[in-house]
Amino acid sequence: MYHEIHRMSREGHSIQSIADYLVINWRTIKKILSMNEQSYEDFVSQTTRDKELVQYESFIKYKLEQYQSTSAAQMHDWLKEHYIDFPSVASKTVYNFVMWVRQKYHLPKIKHERDYFIVEDLPFGKQAQVDFGEYSLRTGGGLRKKVYFFTFVLSRSRMKFVQFSDVPFTSSLAVLAHEKAFEYIQGLPQEIVYDQDKVFLHDENNGDLLLTDGFKKYVSSRSFQLHFCRKADPESKGKIENVVKYIKQNFLYNRPYVDIETLNSEASAWLSRTANYVPHARTKISPQSAWMEEKSSLKPFTPQQYSFDEKRVYYLRKDNSISYKSCMYSVPQGTWKSPETKVLVSEENGFVVIKDLRETEICRHQKSELKGKTIVNNNHKRDTSHKITELLQSEAKRFIDPVKALQYFEKIRESKPRYTRDQVTAICSCFEKFSSQTMNQTLDFCVEHGILNAHNFSSVAQRIEQETKASEIKTPSIKTLANCSQSADELIPNTSQIDVYEQIMLN
């Protein structure tokens, strides 16, 4: 180990590359390189000790040979899964032992890295890239203010543009920012590269782009092509990613916030004196100088006026509502079908208009000027009153006097509107426990005494049932001596002499 590390170092390998190749921490490599042979032997003799997990070496080796990219944390879980008596050790202990096994059997962890290749310079006027960013600035009072920015760069000349907003960018704001960018560079490129941002795109279905309505209309009026990067692949538009970082680190860092107009004015001055003036680190040419050559290759730009009926896609919540600008707006109950249910939301003359994806209007609400409000249209609640009425009418027919029973149920409905169904169902379930006569008597009693509770109704029915059964028990009759020829008052009972009992006692 010692000689291998020193050999690779003599050949010019960096400490990190040696560490990756030998699967050793770079600090250990650095320490070993600072030792001579004798000090390393002394160090090894002092630090060598029995390994607590040596009995699991074959298992770990087998798993690493199968799945060489396995992490130490996952190996720790596998050990606990396959060995019930696996000792309770620190995760660092498992990590050290797994690394030791990797080193012993030359099983380095495989890193799946992307294969890069240098991108050739594109022709003048061919492409631009667009992206968004956000940043928190300090205000005069020591508070923080979040700002949002749209940034644009020509891929060949690196000519840049940035536009700030104090609210998140929507399709309409993005379109206006495009117009200002085209005005700034005095032309249009053939193609613009974007992220799959919801400002521009509803969805991307295997190459089928579903653009937002506002952006779709804008693109159709402007003659440039669209190129959307794959999801989670920002490196495919590295030029604009670098611009976003440049804006944050060179322009926004430690800049106080006054207002959005001042910020945009300061950004325009920064573009002129620094961002587009200083030679680019890659091309070694000032972007403004390169742009002077490129602008003749751009398509002509003629300013246009745009009016937007902007509709944004929102996911419908399962409580049949949407969250729009910090307020909750209801839709008719039953509109939500699944977590993927979407609606289009726009504003028209002070109203929030909600439509389905076919642009059929579902409902509209007066827009709330206050945040945190819940706006519910009562017509959106499911109307169950007719079903309750049908239930009351059906159950009332079980009584001898259905009219009286229905009137009684309606009184329960007035006193307990939320629990009408439960109360009436509980009352009518008493037919299974008590006789029809008892139920009708109970109804009369409850109507007379104003008892509007299923539990009390059942108690009254039970009392009436018990009293009825008690009254049906017959009193036993006295049997007369019907076969005796003498009248009862003429009968003389038999008697015994007292001396007979005395004689019995003496014997």
Q: Which residues of 118-153 are buried (b: 16+ CB within 10 A; e: fewer)?
A: eeeeeebbbbbbbbbbebebeeeeeeebebbbbbbb
Average of per-residue pLDDT across 154-160:
94
Residue pair 233/114 in contact by the 8 Å Cβ criterion: no
What pLDDT was estimated at residue 501?
57
Please provide the average confidence, as pLDDT, over all residues in the chain. Answer: 84
Q: Against a cut of 0.85, is the pTM above it?
A: no
Least confident of 140-144, 156-160, 181-185, 314-318: 140-144
* Residue 371 reports pLDDT greater than 60: yes
What pLDDT was estimated at residue 478?
57
Name 501's bridge partners.
none
pLDDT band at 252 (very low <50, low <70, confident <90, very high): very high
What pLDDT was estimated at residue 60?
92
Q: What share of the chain is helix, strand, coil (3-state, %, to 5)?
A: 45, 15, 40
What pLDDT was estimated at residue 297?
94
Least confident of 128-132, 159-163, 176-180, 199-203: 199-203
Average of per-residue pLDDT across 18-38:
85
Which one of 111-125, 253-267, 302-316 scores highest in mean pLDDT?
Answer: 253-267
What pLDDT was estimated at residue 160?
96
pLDDT band at 222 (very low <50, low <70, confident <90, very high): confident
What pLDDT was estimated at residue 25?
84
Q: What CATH architecture applies to the domain 127-297? A: 2-Layer Sandwich (3.30)
* Residue 421 reports pLDDT greater than 60: yes
Domain boundaries, the chain: 2-104, 127-297, 312-380, 387-470
Residue 217: count other Cβ atoms within 10 Å of its Cβ.
17
| Residue of higher predicted confidence among 271 and 503 | 271
What pLDDT was estimated at residue 265?
94
163 SS3 class: strand
pLDDT band at 417 (very low <50, low <70, confident <90, very high): confident
Q: Which residue type, as a one-letter code, is found at position 44?
A: V
Average of per-residue pLDDT across 440-456:
91
pLDDT one-digit tens code per residue, 311-338: 677 888 888 899 888 899 999 888 888 8
Cα 450–Cα 455–Cα 457 angle in degrees, nearest 5:
45
| Residue % of the chain over a pLDDT of 70 | 85
Residues in Cβ contact with 143 at an 8 Å cutoff, skipping those fewer than 6 apart: none
What pLDDT was estimated at residue 1?
80
* Residue 213 reports pLDDT greater than 80: no
What pLDDT was estimated at residue 287?
95
pLDDT one-digit tens code per residue, 452-472: 989 899 999 999 988 888 877
